[in-house]
């Protein structure tokens, strides 16, 4: 699932994966081995990151921002720490590496993460800039659209209800066309996004809301959020009849 994908993409070890998923170590190793067998390109990506770290002393995001790796260069190259890792075996059988090795390992994980998450953030920022400029050029009522927040890979935009559908499509367009993604062989990779109309961010998991007739009752919203009928009645004073009447 999503947890395994992101955990292994960002170099989580089998022991940490077992703890995170609350499974035994052997099953975590099976997940890990299966993941890399299914996606061999991930290992190639790891090697490319190491080459950047050794060759440049930094790694790059998609548009050229740098993350420097001073610990990696100082410890591995200047001190000749490669292949010389003092290890302590703890009573429970786990391995405890020296502090320098931990510093190198953390920096390598961060450097592996950086091109992915920083590039995603850059795409979102470019999309928001282009959207704001487009709305200003279009004038009223599009200039009434306000970017409220950027949340990880999401953009929350407040718009007049009269242009909700047009605004949704405009946001989707700019999110999908902020940059052109290409493979090393020149194949264009389309960026796909989801966009929907809701009354507030708390309803973002619901289908598009395009008018009062589509508005679910508070009771229905709480049911969808997984609250029991008893809790809804005791805490909020709502019953099934409130869904029928609204």
pLDDT in tens, 156-208: 999 988 888 899 999 999 999 999 988 888 899 999 998 988 888 877 777 77
Residue 204 to residue 149: CA distance in whole angstroms: 14
Q: What is the pTM of this model?
A: 0.70
Nearest to 14 by CA among 95, 123, 131, 112: 95
Q: Is the dihedral of CA 26, 27, 30, 32 positive or negative?
A: negative
Burial class (CB in 10 A: 0-12, 13-18, 19+), 127: buried
Residues 131, 143: Cα–Cα separation, whole Å: 10
Residue 77 has pLDDT above 50, yes or no: no
Average pLDDT over every residue of 18-44: 89
Q: Which of 178, 163, 191 is nearest to 128 (CA)?
A: 178
Looking at the chain, the whole-number percentage of residues with pLDDT higher than 90 is 26
Task: Answer whether residue 246 shows pLDDT above 50.
Answer: no
34: Cβ–Cβ under 8 A, 6 or more apart, which residues?
none
User: What pLDDT band is residue 9 in, cutting at 50, 70 and 90?
Assistant: confident
């Amino acid at each position: 699932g999503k947890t395994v994908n992101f955990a292994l993409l960002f170099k989580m070890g089998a022991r940490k994966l077992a703890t995170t998923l609350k499974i035994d170590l052997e099953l975590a190793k099976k997940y890990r081995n299966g993941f890399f067998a299914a996606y061999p390109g991930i290992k190639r990506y790891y090697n490319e990151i190491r080459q950047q770290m050794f060759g440049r002393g930094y790694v790059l995001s998609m548009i050229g921002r740098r993350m420097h790796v001073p610990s990696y260069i100082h410890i591995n190259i200047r001190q000749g720490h490669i292949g010389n890792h003092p290890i302590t075996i703890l009573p429970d059988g786990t391995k405890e590496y020296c502090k320098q090795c931990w510093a190198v390992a953390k920096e390598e994980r961060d450097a592996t993460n950086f091109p992915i998450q920083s590039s995603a953030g850059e795409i979102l920022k470019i999309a928001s800039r282009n959207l704001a400029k487009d709305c200003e050029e279009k004038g009223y009522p599009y200039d009434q659209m306000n970017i409220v927040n950027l949340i990880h890979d999401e953009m929350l935009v407040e718009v007049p209800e009269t242009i909700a559908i047009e605004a949704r499509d405009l946001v989707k367009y700019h999110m999908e066309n902020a940059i052109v993604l290409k493979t090393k062989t020149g194949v264009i990779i389309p960026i796909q996004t989801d966009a929907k109309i809701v009354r507030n961010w708390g309803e973002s998991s619901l289908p598009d809301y395009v008018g009062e007739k589509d508005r679910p009752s508070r009771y229905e919203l709480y049911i969808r959020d997984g609250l029991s009928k008893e809790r809804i009645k005791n805490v909020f004073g709502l019953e099934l009849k409130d869904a029928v009447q609204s």
